[in-house]
Amino acid sequence: MNYPETKFPNVGLTIFSKMSALAVERGAINLSQGFPDYDGPQALLDSVALQVAQGHNQYAPMTGMPQLCSAIAKKVERLYGRSVDANTEVTVTPGATEALFAAISSTVRLGDEVIIFDPAYDSYRPAVELNGGIPISIPLLPPNFAIDWQRVRDTITPRTRMIIINTPHNPTGQVLSSADLDELERCVAGTDTLILADEVYEHLVFDGLEHQSVNRRASLAERSFVVSSFGKTYHVTGWRVGYCVAPAPLSAELRKVHQYVTFNTHTPLQCAIADFMQAEPDYPQTLPGFFSAKRDRLARGLEQSRFKLLNSSGTYFQLVDYTSISDLPDDQFVVWLLEQAGVAAIPLSPFYANGEQTGCVRLCFAKQDETIDQALEGLCSI
């Protein structure tokens, strides 16, 4: 039998899976893949068992459990001042990545151009290509990874279907400012260009900064899919519960894809999250202090190392420059680091379309203090 030619000749096992597997194989401390090594709020965990016992075990509505959609709409209005229709503008998905895929698949057609800022979360580009779109990369470079908005203006053409933004930004930890949204508004004014805003780390913003959601700007919100994640907010990444807020016409298109990819999202988890959001509406406000303390713990420890820290204003990632330690390419350096220091990190080059070498790797600090301290012993020993 002749099997069909692959649609993704350049796609293999993700670097996250590779490094996590290596960490397990070598018994290393895993600061590579972005997930906590601790549980979420006990009240939330307990609620899941209660929801199961109460019989919330059958299919949920395709768009999400009504009480969760309502809680999301209230949150968006409370935090960002945008009035959202819970029935027509909120869609709950099994993880934020599915929402990103559905947003791209429902709107990007053959030959459409999609602007992606590199380094970028690795699901964007394959989704664009699968739907016949053309990814247009605009590189962001150290030390500040700022967007060159003039370059964005020069890059937009009549074929530009979408611009994908990510704030707070994975993998760099950078956060867009209000001035950045001003520039984005000017870039898309007078065009039909859509925005896909990946805001899964919306509550993980540090140093007194404020998350600049596109939900804050009516002119941007009317053309945007805004995607977020309960896994990141409540330390339960394995639950795979995310959502998308978009105007009714865009939500209707996204749902056409969503219904044939996964149809719905885990019922008892949705019910538990909805109850927790009602009982603890201010819980997300505890996260900046919680995570910035972990970031600072890692940073203080690395002062004794040969790594140079780059600024991290959000997410739970810290970039470090290793060029004073080695001149190896980053994908080779992370293997060397794992072998020499017993710590797994993520190279930055896979986040770039052209494999850009920046001399930086990414560390995840969403870990118990003991895990961070153990990792620091290895990182400071080289």
Domains and CATH numbers, the chain: 15-40+285-379 (3.90.1150.10), 42-279 (3.40.640.10)
Instruction: Report pLDDT for 7.
Output: 83
Instruction: Report pLDDT for 14.
Output: 77
Q: Is the pLDDT of residue 12 over 80?
A: no
Q: Is the pLDDT of residue 21 over 90?
A: no
For 55-85, write each residue's pLDDT tens digit. Answer: 999 999 999 999 999 999 999 999 999 999 9
* N-term to C-term CA, the chain: 52
Q: Is the pLDDT of residue 226 over 90?
A: yes
Alpha helices in the chain (DSSP H): 15-26, 42-53, 66-80, 96-107, 124-130, 149-155, 178-188, 218-221, 230-233, 248-261, 267-279, 287-302, 330-341, 369-379
Place of tokens 């380094």: 119
Q: If pLDDT is split at 50, 70 and 90, which confidence band does 8 have?
A: confident
Helices 369-379 and 330-341 pack at an angle, to 10 degrees, of 100
Q: What's the average model confidence in pLDDT over 352-372?
A: 96
* 259-263: long-range contacts, CB 8 A cutoff, minimum separation 24: 259/62, 261/98, 261/101, 261/102, 262/93, 262/94, 262/98, 263/59, 263/62
Instruction: Report pLDDT for 40.
Output: 97
Q: What's the average model confidence in pLDDT over 280-294?
A: 97
Q: Is the pLDDT of residue 24 over 90?
A: no
Instruction: Report pLDDT for 10.
Output: 76
Instruction: Report pLDDT for 18.
Output: 82
Q: If pLDDT is split at 50, 70 and 90, which confidence band does 256 have?
A: very high
Q: What's the average model confidence in pLDDT over 244-262?
A: 98
Q: What's the average model confidence in pLDDT over 141-152?
A: 95
The three-point CA angle 264-283-237 to 5° equals: 40
Q: Is the pLDDT of residue 47 over 80?
A: yes
